[in-house]
């Protein structure tokens, strides 16, 4: 839903613009200000306006000055300003564009032309907002990727280190198990050798048939 701020000190002018634009596009949302000061204050509180229709000849502060102030404020500088005024001279139009205006519509207003030009600027505004949103999303994605990379690098290094330690531990355990088995076998062989070395003569000789049985003892 496009939000349009109409700034004009004449209530009838504001009503005409609202009526015509609202009839052309029912989804438009309108805000009104009857002076430049009131418009600036309203935009300070809510800078989410999509387009500003600005009269030039107003008391206290004219439209050119209002536009300059809007363009000097980072919060409102990107909002397109369309001057809607009775000033028809070329120098006035040049002044309006120099102040930062996006378009210049003279009174009496050709309602069909004004509606088409305002709609065109709104389309440009919406496309620009979508582009900025996509840029913001891309920026956030890049931040997340960078954050994940910065987090994952030390985590992956730690994980790799732990995996190496685990492998070395398992290999060490296997080696220890093998050594234990070897020690057991060596002990067994050593015990047998000791038995053999301790034999000087048979302790007992038995015969089973023609076979001579010798008891080596324990």
In tens, the pLDDT along 69-99 reads 999 999 999 999 999 999 999 999 999 999 9
Mean pLDDT of 30-37: 95
In tens, the pLDDT along 5-15 reads 999 999 999 99
In tens, the pLDDT along 41-74 reads 999 998 999 999 999 999 989 999 999 999 999 9
- pTM for the full model? 0.63
- Report how far residue 56's alpha carbon sits from residue 71's, in angstroms, rounded to the nearest whole number: 16
- What is the dihedral sign for C-alpha 66, 67, 68, 71? positive
* Domain boundaries along the sequence of the chain: 3-129, 170-218
What pLDDT sits at residue 26?
76
- Report how far residue 209's alpha carbon sits from residue 111's, in angstroms, rounded to the nearest whole number: 136
Domain 3-129 fold is: Rossmann fold (3.40.50)
């Amino acid at each position: 839903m496009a939000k349009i701020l109409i700034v004009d000190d004449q209530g009838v002018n504001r009503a005409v613009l609202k009526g015509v634009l609202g009839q052309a596009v029912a989804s438009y949302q309108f805000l009104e200000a009857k002076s430049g000061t009131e418009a600036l204050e309203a935009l300070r509180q809510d800078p989410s306006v999509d387009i500003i229709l600005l009269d030039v000849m107003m008391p206290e502060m004219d439209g050119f000055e209002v536009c300059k102030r809007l363009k000097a404020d980072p919060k409102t500088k990107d909002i397109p300003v369309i001057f809607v005024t009775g000033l028809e001279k070329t120098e006035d139009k040049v002044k309006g564009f120099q102040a930062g205006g996006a378009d210049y519509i003279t009174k009496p207003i050709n309602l069909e032309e004004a509606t088409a030009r305002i709609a065109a600027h709104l389309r440009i505004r919406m496309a620009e907002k979508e582009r900025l949103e996509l840029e913001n999303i891309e920026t956030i994605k890049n931040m997340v990727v960078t954050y994940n990379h910065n987090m994952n690098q030390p985590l992956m290094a730690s994980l790799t280190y732990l995996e190496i330690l685990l492998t070395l531990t398992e290999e060490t355990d296997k080696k220890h198990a093998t050594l234990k088995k070897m020690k057991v076998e060596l002990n067994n062989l050593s015990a047998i050798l000791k038995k053999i070395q301790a034999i000087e003569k048979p302790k007992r000789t038995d015969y089973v048939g023609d076979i001579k049985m010798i008891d080596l003892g324990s």
